[in-house]
Amino acid sequence: MLSLRAIEVERGGRRTIDRLDLDVHAGSVYALLGGNGAGKTTTLDVLLGFIAPTSGEARVGGFSPTRNAAQVRRQLAYLPENVALYPYLSGAENLQYFCTLAGIVVTGASARTLLEQAGLQTRAHGARVATYSKGMRQKVGLAIAHAKQAGAMLLDEPTSGLDPGAANDFAQRVRAAADGGMAVLMATHDLFNARQVADRIGIMREGRLVAEFDAHTVSHDALERAYLLHTRNATAETSP
C-alpha cells in the first residue's frame, strides 16, 4: 500500500533521505524510530506529496504522490503531532466539516458512531474541541481517517505529550485500524508503543534505514540498545 524505492531527497545542499527502501502492506503497522533530524518526517512528507524526491519512486496504493495527487489524497489519512481542529466546533461538527471538504457526507448519527469507534467518550461528542485534551483531539483525527475509508494512514509522533493511559488507548485504536485492513506508517520516539502496536520497526539515521526488527520478537532491551547506539552515534558525529 505504501512503497518507497531508492528515495533520495536533497534540501539546501544536504541529503536528508539517502536511498530509502520501505514497504508497508495493508493490515500492518510500521513504526519508524530515529532521533531528531533522522528523516522520519521528511519520509512522511514524500508520501504526502509535500516534497518531491530528488530521485527514486514513491507509491501510495500504486499512485505517485507528486503525479497523482488527487488519487493519493483519496487513499491517505494523515495525523500530525497536533491535529488541527476548529476549537469552537464540537468533535462531531469538526468530523462532519472535514468530511464535507473531502466530498464525504456524514450524518449526525454516523459522526457519533465514528467517534465512538475511535474511542471518544459519548459526552464529548457535542462539546467544543477547545475543551478537549490532546488525546481526545487525536481520536477525532482517527475518526476522520475512518470516515474517509482511507487505505493508508500516516502518523507523525501521535503519542507525544500523551499520558501513558492515553498513549496506550490510542495505540490500541491504531492497531484496530490496521486489523481492519489499513496500512499504517508511524514516525515516533516512543519505543514502548512501537513494540505494542507495530508489526515491523525501523530505525532511521541521517536519512538511511539502518536497522529493522520484527516487533513481535524483538525485546524491549534489544530495541532500546539499537536505538541508543544509532542515535548516540549520530549525536556524537554532529556535535561541535
Query: What CATH number is attached to the domain comprising 30?
Result: 3.40.50.300
Residue 16 lies in a domain: no
The whole-angstrom separation of Cα 79 and Cα 89 is: 19
CB neighbour list of residue 167: distance below 8 Å, 6 or more residues apart: 135, 159, 190, 193
Residue 102 lies in a domain: yes
Residue 15 lies in a domain: no
Domain of residue 67, residue span: 24-238
Residue 8 lies in a domain: no
pLDDT tens series, the chain, 240 aa: 999 999 999 988 888 999 999 999 999 999 999 988 899 999 999 999 999 999 999 999 999 999 999 889 888 989 888 888 999 999 999 999 998 888 888 888 999 999 998 889 999 999 999 999 988 998 998 898 888 888 999 999 888 888 888 888 888 889 989 999 999 999 998 898 899 899 999 999 999 999 999 999 999 999 999 999 888 755 444 433
Residue 231 lies in a domain: yes
Residue 138 lies in a domain: yes
Taking CA 190 as the corner, what is the angle to CA 236 and CA 167, rounded to the nearest 5 degrees? 155
Residue 2 lies in a domain: no
Count of domains forming the chain: 1
Residue 119: CB atoms within 10 Å: 18
CB neighbour list of residue 46: distance below 8 Å, 6 or more residues apart: 4, 7, 9, 17, 52, 53, 58, 65
Q: Is the pTM of this model over 0.85?
A: yes
Are the C-beta atoms of residues 85 and 77 closer than 8 Å to each other? no
Q: State the residue for C-alpha cell 520501505.
A: 22
Residue 14 lies in a domain: no
